[in-house]
Structure 1
């Protein structure tokens, strides 16, 4: 029971961190730091931290073999480099609520990627879920009222970036799993962040170097620190620990909770407004995610086959 409470606490903290980021990042971007500058600071902090931890706890663990090394490069490119560049570029251009809702399509992408890359079967409920989620995401991307369009004139482009971000992150979750099962987590994280840095830092180092740090008020420094430590490092550590013990059903609950908290935080801070249109689009996306998260019914095996599997 105590361990279950710890799992819930870890997932709740991670969810709050992710949900708060949608609004807090809007304070920093683009006045104090541009999107790629934030990405550069985040990745540099993570590279240093995970390389140090890996040296201390898994010094002799190395990714070996051509296939695993190529997979780790793909994970770094998709899960860190492209993922973060697309996310902050999109969040800079669109509303926090829209970004948080579009992020929830990642489980739908995981199902599609698993079918393509791992030959997993797509059942009828999952196919319906993909369709319903796609309709919700498309209506959210294309349907904007006059007020939102006035505040975020490039909101459609931002929404597309966020959708691409969710797509590459969903693919990353599928291809990184074999590495996480085979190597120490810090070995994998230190490698993928290093590769991701090689992709992202060339885009953002100028923004990071030329930012006017002397003009940062204390709350901006606090928010930048939040994004570097809590969003990039602490949430990653908590999430990886919780994933060892959390059931798929429990993870699903927190997938739905994140945009709800993001909406509450954004509205309470005056960063965005919740409309009936967005609520309807959210309902479609949530329904799609719920449908694709339903496990296919197990196929009944002959008794002999079951006995052989047990051996």
Structure 2
């Protein structure tokens, strides 16, 4: 398959992995401290990845040291901020609000692309974004548009908005600050920067909230998020941004609630409704339209 097709498959995998992450965020709210979950997730991911990338990190040390400021900023926006803010937001808002605010990711990516890259998305990308957004709203509304007018927003939604802006900026800077480093080595370097940035917040939560419980549920949450939502998803996302650009890659975030609904049907035995099928079809059609043609006009 072509590089473009592999990028699309990787972004589909990312959306699926993030759907599982969303289920864990919802299920662990009130049970697992959010900063601790983020800290142990990334620490385990680093321990798993470092044995395979330590030689590469040393080999590319001069490039990494040359770009250390950029590396720290990228790590802070992604490793340290995005998921920590998402887990924190899940403590005080509903799952549907989290998903609805999360739909702003393509808008954030469009905004940062225009501001920093002077790039305006192509017409096909905008049309695909509109179709995907309509499909997503249909799912969130449960086939009843008036339900969207009844939503109430709170502090957790503002935290999720900050997470969306952080991830959008990370995606755009990742394309702007291209570093000649293999994907896994870059990921390891970002973890080496991002995990220490989480330590002060982790220690604060440890003192004021308490430690993570030593249970199988907590271990499972950390294990899944470390392997699939961290290593697999981030490497695939970074490659997708590199190949397709941040504006188009961000559209795949629309699939996260679609996959979340499907996982709910398969794993939680939730009922499958017509709006799941129609909304999912519109979302996939929008992504097909957005990824079929060149993505950016200047």
* Length-normalised TM-score, structure 1: 0.68
1:263 aligns with 2:261: yes
CA deviation vs aligned residue, 1:96-127 (integer Å, no higher than 9, x gap): 23223322322221221122112234789999
1:45 is paired with a residue of what secondary structure? helix
Following superposition, the deviation at residue 75 of structure 1 comes to 0.8
In 2, are the aligned partners of 1:104 and 1:289 still within 8 Å (CA)?
A: no
Instruction: Indicate the residue corresponding to 1:95 in structure 2.
Output: 94
Unaligned 5+ segments in structure 1 are 150-154, 275-281, 300-311
Give the distance between the partners of 2:66 and 2:104, measured in 1 at CA: 29
Following superposition, the deviation at residue 44 of structure 1 comes to 1.2
1:92 is paired with a residue of what secondary structure? coil
Larger radius of gyration: 1
Which residues in structure 2 correspond to 1:1-311 (within 5 Å)? 10-31=10-31, 33-62=32-61, 64=63, 68-121=67-120, 145=150, 156-205=154-203, 207=205, 210-211=210-211, 213-214=213-214, 216=215, 218-240=216-238, 251=249, 254-266=252-264
Give the distance between the partners of 2:4 and 2:284, measured in 1 at CA: 25
Following superposition, the deviation at residue 173 of structure 1 comes to 0.8
In 2, are the aligned partners of 1:107 and 1:292 still within 8 Å (CA)?
A: no
Q: Which moved more, 1:121-130 or 1:231-240?
A: 121-130
1:171 is paired with a residue of what secondary structure? helix
Following superposition, the deviation at residue 297 of structure 1 comes to 7.8
Cα distance change, pair 255–59 in 1 and its aligned pair in 2 (3 A): same
Cα distance change, pair 29–249 in 1 and its aligned pair in 2 (3 A): closer
1:182 is paired with a residue of what secondary structure? coil
Following superposition, the deviation at residue 230 of structure 1 comes to 1.8
CA deviation vs aligned residue, 1:257-278 (integer Å, no higher than 9, x gap): 222122344577779999xxxx
In 2, are the aligned partners of 1:108 and 1:292 still within 8 Å (CA)?
A: no
Give the distance between the partners of 1:2 and 1:271, measured in 2 at CA: 37
